[in-house]
Amino acid sequence: MDLQLIRRLSIPADSKVVLCVLDGLGGLANYKGRTELDEASTRHLDRLAENGALGQTQPAGVGVTVGSGPGHTALFGLDPFEFEIGRGALEATGIDFELGPNDLAARGNLCTVDGDGNITDRRAGRVATEITEEIATLLSSIELPDAEVFVEAVREHRFVLVIRGEGLSPEVSETDPQEEGLPPLLVTAKEPAADRTADLVNSFVEQARALIAARDQANHLLLRGWSVRPSLPQLPELWKLRAAACTVYPMYRGLAQLVGMDAIDGGDSLETQFDALKRHWDDYDFFFVHFKATDAAGEDGDFARKVQAISDFDRQLPQLMELEPDVLVVTGDRSTPAMMAAHSWHPVPMLISGTNVRTDSARSFTELECVTGGLGTIPATELLPLAFAHAGRLAKYGA
Amino acid sequence: MDLQLIRRLSIPADSKVVLCVLDGLGGLANYKGRTELDEASTRHLDRLAENGALGQTQPAGVGVTVGSGPGHTALFGLDPFEFEIGRGALEATGIDFELGPNDLAARGNLCTVDGDGNITDRRAGRVATEITEEIATLLSSIELPDAEVFVEAVREHRFVLVIRGEGLSPEVSETDPQEEGLPPLLVTAKEPAADRTADLVNSFVEQARALIAARDQANHLLLRGWSVRPSLPQLPELWKLRAAACTVYPMYRGLAQLVGMDAIDGGDSLETQFDALKRHWDDYDFFFVHFKATDAAGEDGDFARKVQAISDFDRQLPQLMELEPDVLVVTGDRSTPAMMAAHSWHPVPMLISGTNVRTDSARSFTELECVTGGLGTIPATELLPLAFAHAGRLAKYGA
C-alpha cells in the first residue's frame, strides 16, 4: 500500500496487533521430503492455522534473497528498494550504536598486509573479538579536525567506524580493493561536496595504520559501506498508533527504532520477551517480536536445531495467546533453509489469526499449506496493511 | 491492463458478455463455520462453477475496503486511485442528477445550530426525507449571479447541491467543521481561480441560512465533497463495443454512465432486469447487471437475508442463461460480510463461465473454492480484460 494512502486511510482503534517474526522461517524438504516446519511440533501454531488464514510473503519480489535490513524494512511495510539501509548504518544498528544526524558510519574489517603493504588476509585470520576490541579502543583515540571518531568492535575482525561532524558525506569510495595482493585504496570523493570527508577518512586511515603497523596480524584495516542514518517513514505517524519492538538481538531492535518503534526490554529469551509484552500491553497498539534462533540454525545448516527452534517457539506461544491479541501474525523475514545452510529467495510462510479473518482450508502451519492459503502470496510490504485492516485500523476508501 | 494497451489490442466481435455484480458478495463464516455463499442455494451458480473457472478479485489492493465508487470503477477496469470520483459527484449520480460540464456538486447535510450558531446536531436528528424535500425546494429558489442553483433531497438529512455556471472550481474548502459545538465554516478558495466559487458558495449559505433559520431543527446546513463531473475513460471507445447498464438503483446506473455505458431500464427486480437484457440483447455487446440486495443485507448484519438474496439471484439465473451469453461473469464489487455488518477488504469471489474457459477443479461457488480457483487472485481492474479475452475481443500482442 502506497504510503500516502496509508496516511490517508489509517485510523486509531482499540485493537492490539502482534507481529512475531521467526527469522529465516521458511525451509526446504530434507531427504525424507519434510521441511523444518513439517518436522517441528507445532500444536499451537496448527490450531491458529486451522482457525486463521495462511499465505506467503515475498520480501523483495520473485527470486530475490534479502539480508536482514531489507527483509525487515519490507515487513514493516516499506519498499526495501526505495528505503535502503547502508551497510555501515546497519552494522552500527547491530551493536546498538544509535546514529545521529551528523554521523557517517562504515563497516570496518581488520586485515593483514605484507611488508610491501599488500593485503595477505582481508579478514586478518578472523582475529578474536577481544583483540578487535583492544584495537578499537586504540583507534578511538585518533583525532580529526572538527570531527569526532568512534570505533566499536562487532565480532572477530569486524568493527564499526563512525565519524561525527558537520557536512559529512557518504559519497566517498571504499578502501577495500575486494581482493588480496593489492594495497588498501585511498578514499576519493564521488562529488565535490565530499572532498572534506575523503580527506578526513584518509587521515583516519593513515593514523590508524601508524598505530597498528607493528602488529604481525591485523596490522591494517578496510572500510566500506559508507552510510548516514537512513531517514525512514515512521510507523507511529503512518499508522497513528504506538509501536513497540521486543527483541533479543540489537540489530532488530535498531531496525525497528529506525521506523519509529519504541524498544522495550526483551531480555534474553522468548519467555522474557512475552513477559515484556505483558508488562507493556496497555502502553502500545502494535508489538514486533523477533525470534532469531530459527535463522541461526538454518544458516548453520543444522536442520534438527531449526526444527527444535520452531518447536520451542510453539511451546512458548500460549504465553502470548493469554494476552488475547486481536490480530496475531506469525511469519519470517525470509527463508533460511537448513538444507542450503544459507538465506534464500523462497517465499515465507505467513499466518494471520484473529478478528474477521476469512478462514481457509488449512489445518496446519507448513510451507505446503501456505501455498494454497486464503491470503495468497503477497509482497511482504502488504502484510502490515493486511494485519491492520483486520484490526479495524483502515478506513474505507471512497464513498 | 494499461488503457493504451486496451486501445491497441481491443477488437470488435460478435460475442455477448454479461457482468453480474452481486454487490458486497464476499462473506465471512458464521458460528457454524459457513459463509453466506456456503449456506445459499446456488444450484445454478454451482453448475457454472463446475463448467467454468473461479478466482478472486481485489478491488483496490490488499487490505483496502472500498466504497461503491472505487469498487465499480475498478470492476470497469479503471484504476480506482487514478480515477477518483468526488463525494458530491457520486451523491448526484445516486439521485440520477446528471452532472454537466459546468456543474459543481457538493454533498449537503441539514444540521441544527443553537442560538449562538454552534452546531448541536450535524445530522439534524436524521430529519424525515419529506422535510428535506420541502427545504430543498425552498433552497432551490436561491439566486446567484451568473449561476444556477439546484438542490435535491437524497434521504433523511442528506441533499445534493449543484451550482451550474462558467468557470466554477472544486478547489474550495468545506463548511463542515466535522464536530459539534462549532459553527459551520465559511468557504475559502484553495487557489485564486476558485475565488468566485467561494463567494458564490458563501452567498448561497448565507441566503439558505436566512430561509431556514427560524426552524427548530434543520435550521442550517453543511457542505462538503466539492466535485465536478469526473472525466473517465469511456468503455465503448476503449473496447470498441456497445455497452449497457441494467440496474435498479440510480447510483450504479450513474457510475456506469460515467464510463460511457447506456442505461437501459432495469425496472425494480432481477426479473425485470433480465427481461430488459432480453429486449436489448441485439443492441449491445456488453451488459452490466447490478444486484443490490446482497450488500444491503450484509451491511445490515442480516446473515439469513444475505443468504436469501444470493439464493434469489441463483433462482433467477436460468432466465439469463436462456439468452446464452458467450461469457458470463458473476462477482461482487467488494465483500460485505453479514458477520461484520460492514463492507470489508476481503477478496471477492469471481466466476467466469462460457467460451474457452479453462475449467478448474471447483465444484461449487464459494469463497473457499475461489481461493484455489484457476483464475487466481487478481486486481478487479483485470476482470474486464479477462472477460473480453474469452469473448474474442482482444487481439494477439506481437507477431
Contacts of A358 in chain B (CB under 8 A): 28-29, 346, 367
A389 touches chain B (CB under 8 A): yes
Q: Residue B69 and residue A399: Cβ atoms within 8 Å?
A: yes
Report whether B221 contacts B183 (CB < 8 A): no
Mean pLDDT of B155-172: 95
Residue in chain B closest to A396 (alpha carbons) equals B65
The closest alpha carbon to A290, from A61, A3, A126, A72, belongs to A72
Rounded Cα distance, B287 and A16, in Å: 45
- The alpha carbon dihedral of B355, B360, B364, B369 has a sign of negative
Cα atoms found within 13 Å of the Cα of residue A280, Cβ hemisphere only? 23
Per-residue pLDDT at A218: 96
Could you give the residue range(s) of every CATH 3.40.720.10 domain in chain A?
3-85+232-390
Per-residue pLDDT at B178: 85
| pLDDT band, very low/low/confident/very high, at B368 (cuts 50, 70, 90) | very high
What's the whole-number average pLDDT of chain B?
Answer: 96
Residue in chain A closest to B73 (alpha carbons) equals A398
Rounded Cα distance, B291 and B21, in Å: 6
Q: What is the DSSP letter of B344?
A: B
Mean pLDDT of A351-375: 96
pLDDT digits (tens, 9 = 90+) for B257-273: 999 999 999 999 999 99
Residue in chain A closest to B91 (alpha carbons) equals A399
**Is the pLDDT score of A34 beyond 90?**
yes
A382 touches chain B (CB under 8 A): yes
| pLDDT band, very low/low/confident/very high, at B96 (cuts 50, 70, 90) | confident
- Beta bridge partners, B53, equal B352
* Architecture of the domain made up of B3-85+231-390: 3-Layer(aba) Sandwich (3.40)
Share of chain B above pLDDT 70, in %: 100
Q: What is the number of other CB atoms lying within 10 angstroms of the CB of residue B181?
A: 10
Rounded Cα distance, B347 and B269, in Å: 27
Q: Residue A385 and residue B343: Cβ atoms within 8 Å?
A: no
Report whether A77 contacts A385 (CB < 8 A): yes
What's the whole-number average pLDDT of chain A?
Answer: 96
Cα atoms found within 13 Å of the Cα of residue B88, Cβ hemisphere only? 27
Rounded Cα distance, B353 and B165, in Å: 48
Superfamily in which the A3-85+232-390 domain is placed by CATH: Alkaline Phosphatase, subunit A (3.40.720.10)
Q: Following DSSP, what letter does each residue of A114-181 receive, concatenated?
A: -TTS-EEETTGGG--HHHHHHHHHHHTT--BTTBEEEEEEEETTEEEEEEE-TT--S-B--S--SSTT
Strands B17-22 and B327-331, by their bridges, are parallel
Q: What is the number of other CB atoms lying within 10 angstroms of the CB of residue A197?
A: 23
Report whether A86 contacts A351 (CB < 8 A): no
pLDDT digits (tens, 9 = 90+) for A267-282: 999 999 999 999 999 9
Mean pLDDT of B245-267: 93
User: pTM value?
Assistant: 0.91
Contacts of A399 in chain B (CB under 8 A): 67-69, 85, 87, 90-91, 225
Q: Which residue has the higher pLDDT, A207 or A93?
A: A207
| pLDDT band, very low/low/confident/very high, at A361 (cuts 50, 70, 90) | very high
Could you give the residue range(s) of every CATH 3.40.720.10 domain in chain B?
3-85+231-390
Per-residue pLDDT at B217: 93
Contacts of A356 in chain B (CB under 8 A): 28, 337, 339-340, 344
pLDDT digits (tens, 9 = 90+) for A212-236: 999 999 999 999 999 999 999 999 9
Phi, psi angle pair for B22, to nearest 5° = -90, 100
Q: What is the number of other CB atoms lying within 10 angstroms of the CB of residue A46?
A: 18
Rounded Cα distance, B338 and B77, in Å: 27
Per-residue pLDDT at A399: 80
Per-residue pLDDT at B93: 86
Q: Residue A398 and residue B340: Cβ atoms within 8 Å?
A: no
B386-390, long-range: CB within 8 Å, 24+ apart, which pairs?
B386/B352, B387/B17, B387/B19, B387/B327, B387/B329, B387/B352, B388/B10, B388/B17, B388/B239, B388/B327, B390/B326, B390/B327, B390/B352, B390/B354, B390/B355, B390/B356, B390/B357
Rounded Cα distance, B214 and A170, in Å: 69
The H-or-E segment that residue B210 falls in is helix B195-212
